[in-house]
DNA sequence: CGTGAGCGG
């Protein structure tokens, strides 16, 4: 009973994150022919790294880990804060032990209230491992 | 100002 509270709050999928980018330009919005379907649209690859956004400015790392530890074993959680001022940026990262733990954490905390604000949990983006010294002066070529 | 989109050390 009373299980429809998470629907109204989290009624904003990854679509409202960027505001309605009304790119309704019927002039420069026309793919030539090859429809590059190799682009990431929504389905993100499952990973133990979870990106949590919508956190309150006073939400700390402990609160995050404690909230996400209820759905899985959280190896490490971190709320991104500014090194200059020290205030939270409003989002954090949660590292689960396994992939299924992360999936349960997302379905369990995505769209829930934390500190009075609705938080969003999803898989974090794959980032380049710090093992490449060959820095190519910025080469933004690889783009799934 | 901690004002509210976003991806860290």
CA A101/CA A76 separation, integer angstroms: 13
pLDDT, greater one: A137 or A69: A69
Domain count of chain A?
Answer: 1
CB atoms within 10 A of CB A67: 23
pLDDT mean across residues, chain A? 75
* Nucleic strand B within 7 A of Cβ A106: no
A121: pLDDT strictly greater than 50: yes
A134 lies in some domain:
no
* Nucleic strand B within 7 A of Cβ A83: yes
What is the per-residue pLDDT for A134?
A: 58
Nucleotide with C1' nearest the A54 CA: B4
A137 lies in some domain:
no
A16 lies in some domain:
no
Residues 6+ apart with CB under 8 A from A81: A87, A88, A89
- Residue A119 sits in a domain whose CATH number is 3.30.70.330
CA A62/CA A45 separation, integer angstroms: 26
* Nucleic strand B within 7 A of Cβ A109: no
pLDDT one-digit tens code per residue, A24-81 = 445 545 455 444 555 555 677 899 999 999 999 999 999 999 999 999 999 999 999 9
């Amino acid at each position: 009973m009373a299980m429809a509270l998470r629907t109204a709050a989290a009624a904003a999928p990854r679509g409202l994150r960027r505001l309605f980018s009304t790119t309704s330009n019927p002039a420069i919005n026309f793919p030539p022919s090859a429809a590059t379907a190799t682009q990431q649209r929504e389905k993100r690859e499952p990973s133990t790294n979870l990106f949590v956004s919508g956190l309150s400015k006073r939400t700390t790392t402990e609160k995050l880990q404690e909230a996400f530890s209820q759905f899985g074993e959280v190896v490490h959680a971190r709320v991104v804060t500014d090194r200059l001022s020290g205030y939270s940026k409003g989002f954090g990262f949660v590292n689960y032990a396994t992939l299924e733990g992360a999936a349960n954490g997302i379905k369990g905390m995505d769209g829930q209230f934390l500190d009075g604000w609705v938080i969003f949990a999803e898989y974090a983006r794959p980032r380049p491992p710090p093992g490449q010294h060959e820095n190519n002066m910025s080469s933004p070529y690889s783009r799934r």
